[in-house]
Chain A
């Protein structure tokens, strides 16, 4: 067991983990942040996407220890109190979800896309960039719509609340 500490959703978090402990397991099991889902365990589906130091990563293939000292943002850390992040609001309003299992990862990836492009890229780019996030329920139409709407609502500079 090794101790690890990081900032998760703005708060210090630490724990004793095995060197092989994955970030997703640290979040879900040690911190009980179960909004980050596991859909494939092998870096294919994107259900487990979180931000580490402002960049989207798949937490099922990131070791907890790699995040020592890092700033981690999960789906639970997006809303400011009752105020949803604009991307969350957009997914909710645009029916961009059905079973919801892919939703947290989609939202985290979506914010990352907007951040990296410094604004809303065109639809083709969004669809291309979402290739690492699988959704088995929707046909992605409303998801893409939500990414555009959420991206537009994210005031420049305040991107991803990070």
Chain B
């Protein structure tokens, strides 16, 4: 009787490795990014004049010769802004679009030139004469700590009595770890194209993860309500958090030029300007103190972090908070104290970057565990496994949330077995004894990453679905596509709901005109939130269709079933298109919004208690490295990853996120080094000096698996789990493996205190310092 195909037999179904919806356009070069859109006649091009000083008073800004240069149509400064000169994402008032009296980082915009061509704008900008009165600049984190430049008070997390627990412990250790920042290096740089409309209207095509915020901040800048500004984004050429708060500046400058000239205006930063002008991952100083027992079980832990925020608040509060929330990473700490200071420096304001402080926060405990294992002469994996959150839900995080969905014990053991970790570790130790120059290391590290925006009200999303009378479907939602595959995943959800093929669903550009008040596509929450909102919209239409069909055929609604492009109505059947057409004739609305707000989350920042996360995503990785102890050069030899994506909506897309996240994390921890000189000028502002991983840096042997048993215990969209950020932190296994190899270089006599990124210089320094200590023993 039941011969209908299973739901997964048609292409649109979820849990299938469907290719990216834009794949065909990408391989033919026909996918349009903002800079590829046909330009309207009269389009102006903008170049931004930036501060050359890290901290200075602007005595005079002489732009006379800029104004009269050939091709220049407008020169814009703070005085030209009709509304508010601020693009702070938290309305802190500390992110001026153009500096007025003071500049606070080298690269800060002071003015912009809009000209007939980009070349004319660039040439003209060089004619500016800026008179600076230098002020003392604080560049490094340690300088900032010495001067106590805290931008905001830091909340605390406290569980039990950490100080008493540490003093009562049989073993103690403490240390400091510096972890560097990271440039996003989205391949498509920041860009916005503003088109003035009638009256006060402004349309902005922006490369942004957060269209609603760009809309609002452009509105504030222009002094017009949000309704006058429309922001649209079809796709980004990568975002990684760098297009969460940063695009507002770019869009605001483009919109200002458009408003002042009445002409369309485009601002595309070239790579060097982008790297100098826009924010990066926060670098952190991590201080830790732990007490543990003879088995390596942590009894108490104290973490004192400090983040280099740069010159303004931006999203630093939420980022430092997330670092605190991840100080425990995967480990149940019976007693813990966590604190993270938010330090101002005269450098670019640091911002969101995949993981949002979480990766930095995890680094301290992973280092500490390696150190505990060294001190006890144990395998670090055994120490890790002795401390992971138990599956029974009995342990609390430092913010008093019960971890009820831990799969860490099972997942780490499965990976240890599948990667043959223990045998390989023994073999590596044996071979290190034979080899003088080349030392190998191996490490398995787990990840537990909290899913939800920790600012509770951001956990909401909207969608808009239309079914046309020919049965084709228009899908829109508040999430943005940056390559992560959000659009195809949400498309799959809608196709699944209507039981139709994915190609019947048109996935359309994100626009503030269709779905309002959206949150950034961030916190890995894109498909969780927008998938649910789109499912809700589809459900509403489906219910109307079912009611219509049931009434017409005089049967109960539950006998109307949507699958495989057909609708079964009792013992009749018709195509989805036929039903849509009939419903239209029957005057049924075939359009609906959908809305979702993550349930059951709450957090009280003042007490440091609550349930900020709906659930946790888990994963683990084993990295094996070889270092050349003469040059400090590293080679990643093999990586095994086991990652929990719940019931993956699209395993192919998720595999891409896992692999890409790992490699990006690897870059952060090994090769990507941001370097400012004493004057606060970023000297690594191009890929020639800033080393992002190439095809040649990926390990020869990389084995990635999505955990087969994965399933979200919470009723998320088809029981999937967020996968955008968590895999980045799997790269900590490579850092630990390098530490292990460096330890081998001391003959396993001293623990190397390696900082990140583990560049060849740092590796050599760490080995030298550790060898020195070993010699003194």
A contact residues vs B (CB 8 Å cutoff): 20, 28, 32-42, 44-45, 47, 74-76, 78-79, 84, 88-89, 91-93, 95, 97-104, 107, 124, 126-128, 130-131, 133-144
Contact of B27 among A107, A127, A138 (CB under 8 A): A107
Tell me whether B271 and A136 are in contact (CB under 8 A).
Answer: no
6 closest A-B pairs by beta carbon, nearest first, are: A35-B29, A99-B483, A101-B237, A100-B26, A75-B29, A98-B483
Sample of 13 A–B contacts (CB below 8 Å): A20-B119, A32-B38, A34-B35, A39-B189, A45-B187, A78-B28, A99-B186, A99-B188, A99-B482, A104-B29, A136-B185, A138-B660, A139-B698
Q: Give Cα A130 to B23, complex, Å.
A: 20
- How far in angstroms is the closest Cβ of chain B from A103? 4
Whether A40 lies near B271 (C-beta < 8 A) is yes
Interface 0/1 of B687-701, CB less than 8 Å to A: 110001111101010
- Is B24 among interface residues, defined by CB-CB distance under 8 A? yes
B602 interface contact, C-beta 8 A: no
Chain A hits for B664, CB < 8 A: 136
Min CB–CB distance A39 → chain B (angstroms) = 4
Q: Does the CB pair B19–A93 fall under 8 Å? A: yes
Instruction: Determine how close the nearest CB of chain B comes to the CB of A59; give it in whole angstroms.
Output: 13
| Nearest CB on A from B280, distance (A) | 14
Are B187's CB and A47's CB within 8 A? yes
B656 in complex: contacting residue of A28, A134, A142, CB < 8 Å:
A142
Contact of A42 among B25, B27, B185, B686 (CB under 8 A): B686
Residue B139, interface by CB 8 Å: no
* Chain B interface residues (CB < 8 Å from chain A): 17, 19-20, 22-33, 35-36, 38, 119, 184-189, 235-238, 240, 270-272, 482-485, 652-653, 655-656, 659-660, 662-664, 686-688, 692-696, 698, 700, 702
Q: Is the CB–CB distance between B187 and A135 below 8 Å?
A: yes
Q: In the assembly, what is the distance between CA of A97 and CA of B270, in Å?
A: 23
Contact assessment for A98 and B29 in the assembled complex, using a CB-CB cutoff below 8 Å? no
Contacts of B184 in A (CB 8 A): 136
Q: Does A34 lie within 8 Å of B698, measured CB to CB?
A: no
By the criterion CB–CB under 8 Å, are B38 and A127 in contact? no
- The answer to whether residues A139 and B660 also contact, given A41-B270, A98-B20, A133-B695 and a CB cut-off of 8 A, is yes
Q: Which residues of B contact A89 (CB under 8 A)?
A: 27
**Distance to closest chain A CB from B730 (angstroms):** 11
Contacts of A128 in B (CB 8 A): 695-696
Q: Are B687 and A45 in contact (CB under 8 A)?
A: yes
Q: In the complex, how many angstroms separate the beta carbon of A93 from the nearest chain B beta carbon?
A: 7
B237 touches A37 (CB 8 A): yes
Question: Within 8 Å CB of A100, what residues of B?
Answer: 20, 22-23, 25-26, 31, 235, 237, 483
- Given A34-B32, A34-B36, A39-B187, answer yes or no on A136-B27 (Cβ-Cβ < 8 Å): no
Nearest-CB distance from A58 to chain B (Å)?
12
Contacts of A130 in B (CB 8 A): 694-696
> In the complex the two chains form, is A79's CB within 8 Å of B694's CB?
no
Chain A residues, Cβ within 8 Å of B482: 99
Interchain CA distance A143-B702 in the complex, whole Å: 14
A76:B692 contact, CB within 8 angstroms:
no
Whether A40 lies near B698 (C-beta < 8 A) is no
> When chains A and B are docked, how far (Å) is the Cα of A44 from the Cα of B185?
12
Chain B contacts of A91 at CB under 8 A? 23, 26-27
Chain A residues within an 8 Å CB radius of B695: 126-128, 130-131, 133, 135, 140, 143-144
Check B23–A97 contact: CB distance below 8 A: yes
Shortest Cβ gap from A124 to chain B (Å): 8
Complex contacts, B692 vs chain A, CB 8 Å: 134, 136
* Chain A, residue nearest B273 (CB): A41
A128 to B694, CA, bound (A): 9
For B23, the chain A residues whose CB sits under 8 A away are 91-92, 95, 97, 100
How far, in whole Å, are A42 and B688 apart by their CA atoms in the complex? 9
Does the CB pair A136–B240 fall under 8 Å? yes
- Assuming the contacts A40-B686, A92-B27, asked whether A98 and B663 have C-beta atoms less than 8 A apart, the reply is no
Contacts A41-B271, A42-B272, A142-B656: A34 and B694 contacting too (C-beta < 8 A)?
Answer: no
Contact of A139 among B33, B185, B235, B662 (CB under 8 A): B662
State whether A101 touches B187 (Cβ < 8 A): yes
CB closest residue in chain B, given A38? B35
| Neighbour of B485 across the interface among A44, A98, A104, A141, CB < 8 A | A98
How far is A142 from B653 in the complex, measured between Cα atoms in Å?
11
Output the least CB separation between A107 and chain B (Å).
6
Given the complex, which residues of B lie within 8 Å of A141, measured CB to CB?
Answer: 659, 698, 702
Q: Are B696 and A127 in contact (CB under 8 A)?
A: yes
B502 to chain A, nearest CB (A): 15
A38 CB contacts on chain B under 8 angstroms: 35
Provide the residues of chain B in CB contact with A34, threshold 8 Å: 29, 32, 35-36
Q: Counting chain A CB atoms within 10 Å of each CB, which of B24, B27, B687 scores highest?
A: B27
Are A139 and B702 in contact (CB-based, < 8 A)? yes
User: In the complex, which residue of chain A has the Cβ closest to the Cβ of B38?
Assistant: A32
Please, which residues of chain A bring their CB within 8 A of the CB of B185?
134, 136
Taking CB as reference atom, which chain B residue is nearest A140? B695
Chain B residue numbers with a CB within 8 Å of A136 are 184-187, 238, 240, 664, 692
Determine if B686 and A101 form an interchain contact, defined as CB atoms under 8 angstroms apart.
no
